[in-house]
Structure 1
Amino acid sequence: MPATIHNNVVSGPEEVLIPGHLSYGQFIYEKFKQAENKIALISAETGESVTYKYLLQCSVNLAEALRSLGLKKGDVVALSSENRFEFIVASHAVIFCGATLSTLNVTYTPGELTHILQIIKPKFIFSSPIIAQNLYDCSKDLAFVKNIILFGEYDVVPSIFYNELVKKHVDIDDFMLADVNGAEDAVAVMCSSGTTGLPKAVMLTHVNFLTLSAHMKYYLAASQGNKKQAVKTALSLIPWFHAYGFITTMAVMCMHIEVVFLIRFDEQQFLETIQKYKVNMTTIVPPLAVFLAKNPLVTKYDLSSLTEIWCGAAPLSSDIQKMVCQRIGIDFIKQGYGLTEVTMACCVDLTSGEKIGSCGTPAPGMKIKVIDIETGKLLPAKEKGELWIKSPLRMKGYMGDKAASDALIDSEGYVRTGDIGYYDEDGFFYVVDRLKELIKYKGFQVAPAELEALLLQHPGVAECGVVGKPDEAAGELPTAFVVRLPGSDVTETDIVQYVAGKVSPAKHLRGGVIFVNDIPKNASGKILRRELKTLLPNNTARSKL
């Protein structure tokens, strides 16, 4: 993508602005209707497939059923599930009704669920059986939750069955979508970790989603311009409850690309799926790139159909990029950079490897500046500072937290990312560190402050500090430095198990516990995490993917 640099601000191509009155639901409806009987989704686990027409029919059926249950514009509906056919139908039905969809991580603990439910206040909750009990326990006393709608056929908790709601046939041509104000109405609330570690509810509008869909089409067209093989089949592995997985999958489907999806990562199934379905495109995170680069199983499969691999959620090293390309024969892995607060993609590298290690140039309509974290000065090329982004994809705000929304955005409309990076003389960006100190474990954000607060509740812990330990496969592993309380004989195992019992899997202390005599702090009492990192063992950890 062409970039321009003026007064130390890097700008992407001109944006084709989306009219503010348009509806993302109407966009989906029309795109799915156009595709008719083309295959839309295939389950890699079962081999079952469904067409775009089938998904649209189920979506309008469910939308009418939800309306009959009282769903209206402005209501919020939560959805927590692994990747499955019903996930797409439920999402579309909610959007067709003009309501707001909120996708929730299936690994949330009761504390995390209770926190986010109190913020979003959903009228209905769609759930798969794997998280139904947890959701029921957390919502049964919340007056605003009217029903849990359960996927599957087993009566796990008191609920309404999804299968019953989609039975009544509705004529697609007669179906009327809710009117929305695309620029103002939230189509989705995606969860993003804040500095406290508890999820923040990021409100994204219809225009945000429409603009991102236009960008995705632009990226793919630009990337495929010099290639003979068009993308016909994509593999979706990133969980759809995650903004990265959900937004990219929706955009790809609206391009009428056949999507094969996986419920979870299994080494053999992942490779077999690419080979069996001749997958052309997939989105990954760095740990998957490490797997493709180093696992001996990879060479036993034919992955030559792959022409597009897009990597996001965390920085990908140039060495791993090169290893993957050499091993499977792809020309280049496209690395991107983004955050939920600006509807994901801010930069995408659409070169053929000339800027390896870069996450690319700003997306259409994006302006990015680099600010010195000490002086606030606007920095020129090659100087590191905090990235600030101005974009038509900026969120509407954090639901229920106006103060946090206001603190994130400056007077010119730039979003403070908390990420440290720089740009080169051509406007290509490189992300090198995180100012906000969040640990990235396999693409998930882990807040040290949350784990520290939890550790301090342990009777054997006097002081503590948490940092990320570099790990080749996972990115970073949460690691705790602990000062024992006098007289305490608490062990590493005690603390690791204690934390594991209270937080979701991404936050487990996989980097272990290091006992120290004191925790370094500055004059105001803030933990000096950079000093703690110097105490980490020199050898880089290697975890199992």
Structure 2
Amino acid sequence: MSVRANKPFGSLIYELLRKHVETSKNKVAFINVENKTQILYKEIVEKSGSVISLLTDMKSLECIDRVAICSENNLNYFIPVLGCLYLGCPIVNISHTYAKIELLNAINTTKPSVVFCSRAMFAVISSVCLDNNLEFVKKIIVLEDIDYSDANNTKPDVVELDNHDVVAAMMFSSGTTGLAKAVMLKHENISYFYNQFQDEKLLLSHVLNTLVIVPFSHAYGFIMTLVLLATGKTVKFMTKFNEDIFLQSVEEYQIDSLTLVPPLMVWIAKSPKVDEYDLSFVKHIVSGGGPLAENVIEAITKRLPNITIGQVYGMTEVTLAATCTPLDYIPAKAFSVGKALPGVKIAIRSTSLVAETFLGPNEIGEVLMSGPIVTKGYYKNTEETENTFFNNGYVASGDLGYVDNDGYLYIVDRVKDLIKYNAFQVPPAELEGLLLTHGDVIDAAVVGLKDDTHGELPFAFVVKKANSELTASDLQEFIQKLVSYPKYLRGGVQFVDSIPKTPVGKILRRELRDLINRVIV
């Protein structure tokens, strides 16, 4: 069933969910592949309607209020999410991986009337609210303990919103440059992606039999799951990534498409475990959350020759993605992050000029994006909104990139992550990609080490294979043979057990810079 969205997403998904139930009363909505528990579409519809009754009975909820949810991936996660979408009430998604100070920032920024959480998060959420006297939180509700005894008799009153511009959800940006900011996603943003995932000309439409491993609280997991539900697919998910369970599930459920983040792409390329399982059903792998190194794409293509590898590029501020690898892409373009999605515009501006000044093809500058993907800005943060969301409709990405003559976008690095050695700019991602080509390197991250003479020196943190005899000088010599003089790892190499990253695989360079102060004597 293919239905184009022409109404607010809350109304649309309610109609679609009911149709899925009418088609099959035993249709499975979610499966937790770790413990094989599941929930039916029929239960989702009934329980999400019951949540509306629960919220409206409190008499403390109006459309301008907010409801928050903080949980690991959970069978019940989307029940309050759907209820809030029906009601026209913004649902605030808060990462369960947050430390207390981050939870306090998220709750205090958005001031939800109600917080839904899993049993695992109840103690810490309660502590944050009580210890900081957050009286605006009227109730904390444990997802697993909700009484659904009247669910069969509940028919929700779905609010017919006047326009698509109403805020549907709030997602927090990665917070790698400070405390996370609440991005306001509109109903029309979600409806746009529902439409794109049904466009057979796009790679997105071919990734609907997948395994969701990204947190539901992240835009990638949130939007993907809503689209899967709207299209009547069974959402197969993991609460926490485990190599063996992941590979077993791909084999058992005959997954034909994978949506991964770059660190997992590196793992697919290098792990010997991959050869132990049957991945013959997989036809497409789509990577998002950061550009892929060329050697990673080449290694996966060699290992799994019958698989199409694509990339999407975007950020929370543009809902999910602005570009995607086209189905008919030219092999020579495999290392790009694709072309602009329908209705989306990509522009490149010089980092030394005003936002309205755009560069031409193959010129490197900051990537800007516009179109129906652009969200409403940061909640209660006018200054940061004005710095990122421009009056001309474009959103600043903070990424350096260029568009070639055929419209393919290439990402070079983060503007703020560039290492300044003398007058030269050194992209960390380039050095990281080269380090990963070394047979003894499992993972790597590069940051700038402050230096009074040269400004910054490239410094690498490296995870090496167990029992490897690789030394820092070995890697410095290895890189020296591959790059120009300014890019030498003259700051040094430090071996570590792991590289700190966000739940979706973005390197936490701020933590690495702090670590430098502890390892450099």
TM-score (norm 1): 0.74
Asked if the contact 1:347–1:363 (Cα under 8 Å) also holds between the matched residues in 2, the reply is yes
Tell whether the 8 Å contact from 1:238 to 1:245 is kept in structure 2 after alignment.
Answer: yes
**In structure 2, what is the equivalent of residue 491 of structure 1?**
none
Q: How far has the Cα of 1:438 moved from its partner?
A: 9.5
The alpha-carbon deviation at position 479 of structure 1 amounts to 6.3
Question: Structure 1: which 5+ runs fail to align?
Answer: 1-15, 153-160, 440-466, 484-495, 497-530
Query: 2:19 corresponds to which residue?
Result: 34
Q: Take 2:231 and 2:412, find their aligned partners in 1: how far apart are those partners? A: 33
Aligned with 1:367 (options 325, 345, 353): 345
Give 1:527's aligned residue. Answer: none
User: 1:408, 1:415 within 8 Å by CA — same for their partners in 2?
Assistant: yes
Indicate conservation of the 8 Å contact 1:76/1:100, yes or no: yes
**Match for residue 331 of structure 1?**
307
Q: For 1:533 and 1:104, how far apart are their aligned partners in 2?
A: 40
* Paired residues of 2:310 and 2:334 also in contact (CA < 8 A): no
The question of 1:85 aligning with 2:75 is answered yes
Contact 1:91 1:101 in 2 (8 A): yes
1:242-299 deviation digits (Å, cap 9, x = unpaired): 1111111211221222221111111100000000111112211011111111111110
Listed as ranges, the matches of 1:285-304 within 5 Å are 285-304=261-280
Q: How far does the alpha carbon of each residue in 1:124-170 deviate from its partner, in whole angstroms, 9 at most, with x for none?
A: 11111222222111112111101111133xxxxxxxx32x2x22125
Aligned residue pairs: how many? 439
Superposition CA RMSD, Å: 3.0
Cα pair distance change 1:479/1:232, threshold 3 Å: closer
Residue 168 of structure 2 is aligned to residue 178 of structure 1: no
CA contact (8 A) 1:287 1:474 kept: no
Question: Which letter does structure 2 place at the counterpart of 1:303?
Answer: L
Q: Alpha carbons of 1:536 and 1:285: their partners in 2 closer, same or farther (altered >3 Å)?
A: farther
Please list, as runs of the form range in 1=range in 2, the aligned pairs for 1:10-159 lying within 5 A after superposition: 22-36=7-21, 37=25, 38-70=27-59, 71-140=61-130, 141-152=133-144
Identity %: 29
CA distance 1:254–1:382, shift in 2 (3 Å): same
In the other structure, the counterpart of 2:150 is: 168
Deviation at 1:474, TM superposition (A): 8.8
- Residue 122 of structure 1 and its aligned partner are, at CA, apart by 0.5
Determine the C-alpha separation between the residues in 1 that align with 2:158 and 2:75: 21
Alpha-carbon distance in 2 for matches of 1:277, 1:214:
26
* One-letter code aligned to 1:366: V
**Residue 59 of structure 1: SS of its match in structure 2?**
helix
Aligned position for 2:492: 537
1:209 equivalent to 2:190? Answer: yes
Letter in 1 for 2:50: N
Residue in structure 1 matched with residue 218 of structure 2 by the alignment = 242
**Cα drift, residue 481 of structure 1:** 5.3
Shift of 1:389: 1.2
Letter paired with 1:178: V
In 2, Cα distance between equivalents of 1:438 and 1:148: 43
Give the Å deviation of 1:391: 1.2
SS of aligned partner of 1:275: helix
CA distance in 1, matches of 2:174, 2:204: 34
Distance in structure 2 (CA, Å) of the matches to 1:26 and 1:330: 40
| Residue 295 to residue 221, structure 1, CA distance change in 2 (3 Å) | same
Q: Counterpart of 1:395 in 2: which secondary structure?
A: coil
Is the alpha carbon distance of 1:373 and 1:39 closer, same or farther for their aligned partners in structure 2, counting shifts above 3 Å?
A: same
- Classify 1:119/1:320 alpha carbon distance in 2 versus 1 (closer, same or farther; 3 Å): same
Cα drift, residue 533 of structure 1: 9.3
Deviation at 1:120, TM superposition (A): 0.3
Q: Which one is further off, 337-346 or 372-381? A: 372-381
Alignment of 1:505-524 (within 5 A): none
* Alignment check: 8 A CA contact 1:124 1:148 kept: yes
User: Are 2:196 and 2:202, in contact at CA under 8 Å, matched by a contact in 1?
Assistant: no
Task: Give the deviation of 1:532 after TM superposition.
Answer: 11
Structure 1 residues 360 and 73: CA distance shift in structure 2, 3 A: same
Structure 1 letter corresponding to 2:53: E
Counterpart check, 1:348 vs 2:324: yes
Q: Please, what TM-score do these two structures have when normalized by structure 2?
A: 0.78
- Alignment partner, residue 232 of structure 2: 256
Determine if the alignment matches structure 1 residue 393 to structure 2 residue 361. Answer: no
1:231 shift after superposition = 6.3
- Check the 8 A contact 2:377/2:389 in 1, yes or no: no
The letter of the residue matching 1:277 is: Y
CA deviation after TM superposition for structure 1 residue 72, in Å: 2.9
Deviations 1:405-453 (A, max 9, x none): 12212231111111100011100000111113399xxxxxxxxxxxxxx
Deviation at 1:233, TM superposition (A): 2.9
Matched-pair contact (CA < 8 Å) for 1:366–1:392:
yes
Q: Greater shift after overlay, 248-257 or 74-83?
A: 248-257
Where do 5+ consecutive residues of structure 2 fail to align?
420-427, 452-460, 462-485, 500-504, 506-521
Q: How far is the alpha carbon of 1:79 from its aligned partner? A: 0.6
In structure 2, C-alpha distance between the alignment counterparts of 1:271 and 1:111, rounded to whole Å: 35
| CA distance in structure 2 between the aligned counterparts of 1:211 and 1:224, rounded to whole angstroms | 12
2:169 corresponds to 1:188: yes
Label 1:17 to 1:61 Cα distance change in 2 as closer, same or farther (>3 A): closer
Name the CA distance, whole Å, in 1 between partners of 2:226 and 2:413: 30
Distance 1:413 1:63, change over 3 A: same
